[in-house]
Amino acid sequence: MRTLTPAELVLMKKACALTHDALEKAESLVKAGISTFELDKLIEKYIIESGGYPACKGYEGYPYATCISVNEMVVHGMPSKDIILKEGDIVSIDLCVEYKGLIGDAARTFPVGKISPEKARLIEVTKQSFFEGIKNLKVGHRLGELSHAIQTYVEKNGYSLVRELTGHGIGRKMHEPPNIPNYGKVTDGPMVIADVCLAIEPMVNMGRKEVWLMEDGWGVITRDGKPSAHYENTVLVTSNGIEILTL
């Protein structure tokens, strides 16, 4: 957890606004028949034209601007010409935008056309778990209070949380300490301090929590093959409360 200076915060807010705008653009492009490769290229173009840089590209050798994960893919789906969206799919799009050295990170799961009520409920519970979590994100409180609130809400709704991946601090690097699990005890984790940015990102499975790593070394899929959803925002914590910068 690192405190950002007022000057860094100005840039951070801009990076996060561009992240939000890129996700809104992504949403407008999601439709049956488009490949995830095409989607990635169009989003990348939009980010660059808006004055940002798609920070995923080149991160630990990752070759794309976005991660696009369809149905049972949890996160880090590599865009592909062979993955064509079809009616009834759910598609998670995760992207980071860098602006003058500061990075915003956010993800949403979108429906492709008409989806089943079960998938719609998964998307809704995943989103709501983020908001349940941040009610417990406060200066002077342990981060575990947020983690615990996310887990309690998701499990109460009959779903499970992925253990292998977490939220994270963010700022000049995409991933800064601390890791922010989406499960745990209220007594876990460090105390939250003021003027830090955190990426909070529940990854919720409709079925069991276990996942596989795909052969490409990136994609994470559910072991039971059931769908998964993702909802992420970059959040600023201050002594006056929190601000969701990518909303």
Whichever of 41 and 121 has its CB closer to ligand MF3, that residue is 41
Whichever of 115 and 181 has its CB closer to ligand MF3, that residue is 181
Instruction: Write down the least CB distance from residue 58 to ligand MF3, Å.
Output: 9
The reply to whether omega before 178 is within 30° of 0 (cis) is yes
Site residues (CB under 5 A) for Co ion?
A: 105, 199
| Stretch 80-109 residues interacting with ligand MF3 (CB under 6 A) | 94, 96, 105
**Strand runs labelled E in the chain:** 53-54, 66-70, 73-75, 90-99, 102-111, 160-161, 167-169, 176-180, 196-200, 203-205, 211-213, 220-222, 228-230, 233-238, 241-244
Instruction: Write down the least CB distance from residue 163 to ligand MF3, Å.
Output: 15
| Max Cα–Cα distance, the chain, nearest Å | 49
Task: Determine the residue type at 202.
Answer: P
DSSP string, 160-225: EE-SS--EEE-SSSSSEEEEE-SS--TT-SPBP-SSEEEEE--EEESS-S-EEE-TTSS-EEETT-
Instruction: Write down the least CB distance from residue 193 to ligand MF3, Å.
Output: 21
How many H helices and E strands in the chain? 4, 15
Q: Of Co ion, ligand MF3, none, which one does residue 37 interact with (CB within 5 to 8 Å by kind)?
A: none
Whichever of 36 and 92 has its CB closer to Co ion, that residue is 92
Whichever of 115 and 168 has its CB closer to Co ion, that residue is 168
Q: Of ligand MF3, Co ion, none, which one does residue 196 interact with (CB within 5 to 8 Å by kind)?
A: none
Instruction: Write down the least CB distance from residue 220 to ligand MF3, Å.
Output: 10
| Stretch 43-82 residues interacting with ligand MF3 (CB under 6 A) | 56, 59-60, 62, 67, 76
DSSP state, residue 64:
S
Instruction: Write down the least CB distance from residue 43 to ligand MF3, Å.
Output: 13
| Stretch 159-188 residues interacting with ligand MF3 (CB under 6 A) | none
Instruction: Write down the least CB distance from residue 40 to Co ion, Å.
Output: 17
Radius of gyration of the chain (CA): 17
Q: Of Co ion, ligand MF3, none, which one does residue 59 interact with (CB within 5 to 8 Å by kind)?
A: ligand MF3
> Is residue 168 a contact partner of residue 175, using CB atoms and an 8 Å limit?
yes
Whichever of 145 and 232 has its CB closer to Co ion, that residue is 232
Phi, psi of 127 (to 5 degrees): -60, -45
- Asked if 201 interacts with ligand MF3 (CB under 6 A), we say yes
Q: Which residues bind ligand MF3 (CB under 6 A)?
A: 56, 59-60, 62, 67, 76, 94, 96, 105, 199, 201, 232
